[in-house]
Amino acid sequence: SQTIHQWPATLVQPVGSPLSLECTVEGTSNPNLYWYRQAAGRGLQLLFYSVGIGQISSEVPQNLSASRPQDRQFILSSKKLLLSDSGFYLCAWSRYSSTDTQYFGPGTRLTVL
């Protein structure tokens, strides 16, 4: 069976500090991978998605970046966090295409102070 991991679960960071969130998927190969951000009480905003190693599509211009160094690893980064980066970050994967069923990780709650 497939499993998706995200860490850390919660993170409190000062403004201007760097960020690195990691997501890994087990039990499948060549998944499509996604990073979403969810503001309190709001829907999901797609930040990045990847259809293969080194292939990243950015949906929203911001001070965040994503990388996929390995087939089942997806990393969300920032060099300098802003207050507006606070939110709930979700990683997800899908099997065949980016409009198929998506399977979500447990999320990371990021608070920027």
Partner 1 sequence: SQQGEEDPQALSIQEGENATMNCSYKTSINNLQWYRQNSGRGLVHLILIRSNEREKHSGRLRVTLDTSKKSSSLLITASRAADTASYFCATDQGYSTLTFGKGTMLLVSP
Give the interface with partner 1 as residue ranges (CB under 8 A).
Answer: 34, 41-44, 46, 49, 57, 59, 88, 90, 92, 98-99, 101-107, 109
Closest separation in Å from C-beta 49 to partner 1: 6
Which residue number, 53 or 109, has a Cβ lying nearer to partner 1?
A: 109
Work out the burial of residue 64: count CB atoms within 10 Å of its CB; fewer than 13 is exposed, 13-18 middle, 19 or more buried.
Answer: buried
Which residue number, 42 or 80, has a Cβ lying nearer to partner 1?
A: 42
Closest separation in Å from C-beta 85 to partner 1: 18
Question: 4: Cβ–Cβ under 8 A, 6 or more apart, which residues?
Answer: 23, 24, 25, 26, 91, 92, 93, 103, 104, 105
